[in-house]
Amino acid sequence: MEKKKAEQLELFTRSQVPVKELYTSADLPAGDSSEWLGAPAKYPFTRGVQKDMYRGRLWTMRQYAGFGTAEESNRRYKYLLSQGTMGLSVAFDLPTQLGYDPDHPRSKGEVGKVGVSLATLDEMRTLFNGIDQAKVSTSMTINATASTLLSFYILAAEENGAKRSELRGTVQNDVLKEYIARGNYIYPAKGGLRLTTDMFEWCSKEAPKWNPISISGYHIREAGSTAVQELAFTFSNAITYVQSAVDRGLPVDQFAGQLSFFFNVHSDFFEEIAKFRAARRIWAKIMRDRFQAQDPRSQMLRFHSQTAGSTLTAQQPLNNVVRVSLQALSSVLGGTQSLHTNSFDEALALPTEESAKLALRTQQVIAYETNVNQTVDPLAGSYFIENLTSELECRAWELIEEIDRQGGTVRSIENGSIQNQILNSAYQDQRAIDEGRIKVVGQNCFQEKETTKVDLMRIPAELERAAVERIRAYRLKRTQSETDQALRQLKEAAGADGNLQERIMQSAQKGATLGEISDALREVFGQYQEYSGF
């Protein structure tokens, strides 16, 4: 009887892909293996974008950090660099992300809470004080105000002797996923896309080592999508960005090599590995077949990954160390170029210095003690992994083609179809957890009555008052007539057809604040109203 029950048992990945009890050579994808597997650094890049992968160079260990003031965040960055972090990743507070200065009424209660408050060029100078921007790679998780933050960053770097052409890093700058999943938008899609495309064009000429976008599936997954939806919606967004740049007249091979991606690393270990392998294959086909990109760099998917914040639990938070370790390992086995590991206390508060160090040490143990970096794509040829890679690719293509039939990503955002699919997946996933069909240790099984006590980071309330005083003092020391003129010229340019990135930089150089630059663009572009379903 027990044997019969076991034979009838149906198991699925987190994306509802059926999983067989045993895989054999009959389950490998059809056709010549060079079509779906190939070699590392060669089309379709299933096995990785570097020939020797981690044998030649480890992934970049990039720890996401930012809180309170620029001074406090600067101290944390210097600490992380001293502990072996290879790149910095800046988290900004909500007012900064939404284009409001600290003294704006909508900023009240949010200044410095979930990231660093940064509204002026002075604060960017402070944020990187004593850090050689010419030598460190910096990622900034910023979208609607990405053009302004990049301007602050470049101006501060140049003041310290760095050349913009040598700066390395990324701004997320993915406005489409804000409309879909995250909600930190400012302008309607047309204005947001224009700013993104302007940055593509500007960086391709002025900052060729800088990635002007990190097209993000991470937040789509955090909002509740499946792995398949994460792939499909991310690449549909990417298609829209590339098409916008091509329509502008940019040759695809001029800018495509600077595009990067950002993916979530969830808990379904083998599905995540297969997802990353499928992602490289999908992107290679999009760029070669849809956009006729000839340069292999244009066809290579380079991505940063971050362990899944949504899987962290407030219950038994030390269990999160294990979750993060396994997610990080699957990302490495999947061939990531860069990785952030979440801290175990992030379901409760911003990470402390100690928890951030442990998160970094997790990557270092994987890198230096496990030997998983000794060979390229070590799971290639596995009957299960190859079958799952192709299954995820096939299902993602079906969704991409469905979005194409609806008129593309912008149309699908406007009619709410993408948002509704994510909402439905999130509901089904949470229902499975609530009913115990998906087990979460410490939350719905193996529970404990007593709460584990951990030290948490607290952001002092007086920080906001100090930030307000600081920005008001900043406005008083500038030449107001020059600031006003720069903002007028920015608005005039926004109402015309030219590239806005240089105008935004000029405004920043003349003392304009992040909120003032955002307001100037709001006057021209308007403000996006979220799809409500009504």
Q: Could you tell me if residue 402 is inside a domain?
A: yes
Structure tokens at 414: 């406007």
CB 390 within 8 A of CB 280: no
Residues of the chain with pLDDT under 50: 1, 4-7, 534
Q: Could you tell me if residue 341 is inside a domain?
A: yes
Give the closest residue to 337 by CA, choosing from 48, 3, 28.
48
Compute the distance between CA of residue 331 and CA of residue 68 in angstroms, rounded to an integer: 30
185's torsion region: left (phi>0), alpha (psi -120 to 50) or beta? beta
CB 310 within 8 A of CB 276: no
Compute the distance between CA of residue 165 and CA of residue 154 in angstroms, rounded to an integer: 10
Q: Could you tell me if residue 169 is inside a domain?
A: yes
pLDDT at 529: 85
Residue 317's SS3 state is: coil
pLDDT at 532: 63
Q: Could you tell me if residue 7 is inside a domain?
A: no
Strands 338-340 vs 303-307: parallel, antiparallel or unpaired: parallel
pLDDT at 211: 95
What's the CATH number where 213 sits? 3.20.20.240
CA atoms within 13 A on the CB side of 401: 7
Give the closest residue to 94 by CA, choosing from 514, 490, 532, 405.
514
CB 154 within 8 A of CB 164: yes
77's torsion region: left (phi>0), alpha (psi -120 to 50) or beta? alpha
Domain count within the chain:
1
**CB neighbour class for 262 (10 Å; exposed up to 12, middle 13-18, buried from 19):** buried
Q: Could you tell me if residue 466 is inside a domain?
A: no
Compute the distance between CA of residue 181 and CA of residue 171 in angstroms, rounded to an integer: 18
Give the closest residue to 301 by CA, choosing from 351, 238, 363, 252.
238
pLDDT at 455: 87
pLDDT at 533: 57
Q: Could you tell me if residue 440 is inside a domain?
A: no
Compute the distance between CA of residue 181 and CA of residue 224 in angstroms, rounded to an integer: 9
pLDDT at 457: 82
Structure tokens at 440: 């979460």
Residue 200's SS3 state is: helix
Q: Which domain holds residue 215?
A: 18-28+43-434
Give phi and psi for 84, each to the nearest 5: 110, 5
Per-residue exposure over 128-155, b if at least 16 CB sit within 10 Å of its own CB, e if not: beebebeebbbbbbbbbbbbbbbbbbbb
Distance set, CA 146 to CA 152, 178, 250, 338 (Å): 10, 13, 21, 20
Give the closest residue to 263 by CA, choosing from 177, 353, 361.
177
pLDDT at 8: 56
**Residues sharing a CB contact under 8 Å with residue 26, sequence separation 6 or more, in sequence order:** none
Helix 514-525 with 146-159: angle, nearest 10 deg: 140
pLDDT at 417: 95
Q: Could you tell me if residue 260 is inside a domain?
A: yes
Give the closest residue to 434 by CA, choosing from 442, 426, 444.
444
Q: Could you tell me if residue 146 is inside a domain?
A: yes
pLDDT at 1: 45
